[in-house]
Amino acid sequence: KAGVTQTPRYLIKTRGQQVTLSCSPISGHRSVSWYQQTPGQGLQFLFEYFSETQRNKGNFPGRFSGRQFSNSRSEMNVSTLELGDSALYLCASSSRPGMRQPQHFGDGTRLSIL
């Protein structure tokens, strides 16, 4: 079974730009969650999508948004990038929705803001 695939693996942007990250879940998984990982703040939950609907949301500003398509693939968008947005962005999928479900992670997209 193919794992969670995130693209691109690395990305360099400048302040003020916007970026879109992509996540393809494990085949058959319909729930996708996004996380931000930084040395200072650790792993923080961004949001969860299931059946194209956002179910849960973490404490991030509105510049962070996401969506899920009918094939369960998900994208995350960050607008007006700030230096502090430099991080590893991880996507995880699970077969069912909800915060109690074990999640399977991709290897992340490393975003660097110059």
Residue 5 or 65: the one with the smaller Cβ distance to other proteins is 5
CA 48 – CA 39 distance, rounded (Å) = 22
**Per-residue x/- mask for other proteins, residues 80 to 99, rule CB under 8 A?**
----------x-x------x
CA 18 – CA 80 distance, rounded (Å) = 6
Residue 18 in contact with residue 80, Cβ under 8 Å? Answer: yes
Rounded to the nearest whole angstrom, what is the least distance from the CB of residue 16 to other proteins in the complex? 28
Taken in order 42, 58, 79, 73, is the CA torsion positive or negative?
positive
Bridge partners of 97, per DSSP, are none
Q: Is residue 66 a contact residue for other proteins (CB under 8 A)?
A: no
Rounded to the nearest whole angstrom, what is the least distance from the CB of residue 37 to other proteins in the complex? 8
Footprint on this chain of other proteins (rule: CB under 8 A): 4, 33, 35, 42-45, 48, 55-59, 90, 92, 99-100, 102-108
